[in-house]
Amino acid sequence: MNTALLDIQNYAKTFHLHERDKFIPSASHVNLSVYPGKLTALIGPTGAGKSSVLKGVYRTYLPSAGHILFRTAAGEIVDLAQADEHRILELRKTEIGFVTQFLHCLPRKSALDVVAEPLFARGVPTEEARGRAADLLAQLAVPAHLWNVPPATFSGGEKQRVNLARGLIAQPRLLLLDEPTASLDPATTERVVAHIETLKDTGIAMLAIFHHPDLVKRLADDVIELSPPVAIVEPEEEIA
Ligand SMILES: Nc1ncnc2c1ncn2[C@@H]1O[C@H](COP(=O)(O)OP(=O)(O)O)[C@@H](O)[C@H]1O
Ligand SMILES: [Mg+2]
CB of 69 closer than 6 angstroms to any ligand 1 atom: no
Q: Which carries the bigger pLDDT value, residue 67 or residue 93?
A: 67
- Residue 179 CA to ligand 2 centre (angstroms): 8
Find the range with the poorest average confidence among 44-58, 82-96, 131-145, 174-188.
Answer: 174-188
Cα 24 from Cα 18, distance rounded (Å) = 11
* Higher per-residue pLDDT: 33 or 232: 33
Alpha-carbon distance 208 to 203, whole Å? 15
Domains, the chain, in order of start with CATH, read: 6-237 (3.40.50.300)
Residues 192-214 have a mean pLDDT of 93
Q: What is the pLDDT of residues 191-200, one digit of tens each?
A: 889 889 999 9
Strands (E), 63-221: 65-71, 77-79, 96-99, 174-178, 205-209
Mean pLDDT, rounded, of the chain: 90
Q: Sorting pLDDT into bands at 50, 70 and 90, what band is 101? A: confident
Q: Could you tell me if 223 and 38 are in contact, meaning their C-beta atoms sit under 8 angstroms apart? A: no
What integer is the mean pLDDT of 120-145?
94
Distances (CA, A) of 42 to 16, 92, 116, 149: 24, 21, 29, 34
Q: How far does residue 214's CA lie from ligand 1's centre (Å)?
A: 24
Which atom of ligand 1 lies closest to the CA of 55? Answer: 17
- Whether residue 207 contacts residue 173, with contact meaning beta carbons closer than 8 Å, is answered with no
- The tens digit of pLDDT for each residue in 23-46 reads 888 888 999 999 999 999 999 999
Mean pLDDT of 7-19: 92
Ligand 1, atom 24: nearest CA belongs to which residue?
47
The mean-pLDDT minimum among 50-59, 60-69, 132-141, 186-195 falls in 186-195
Alpha-carbon span 174 to 204, nearest angstrom: 6
Question: 67 by DSSP, 3-state: which?
Answer: strand
Ligand 1 pocket test target in 50, 52, 210 with most atoms within 8 Å of CB: 52
Supply the Cα-derived Rg of the chain in whole angstroms: 19
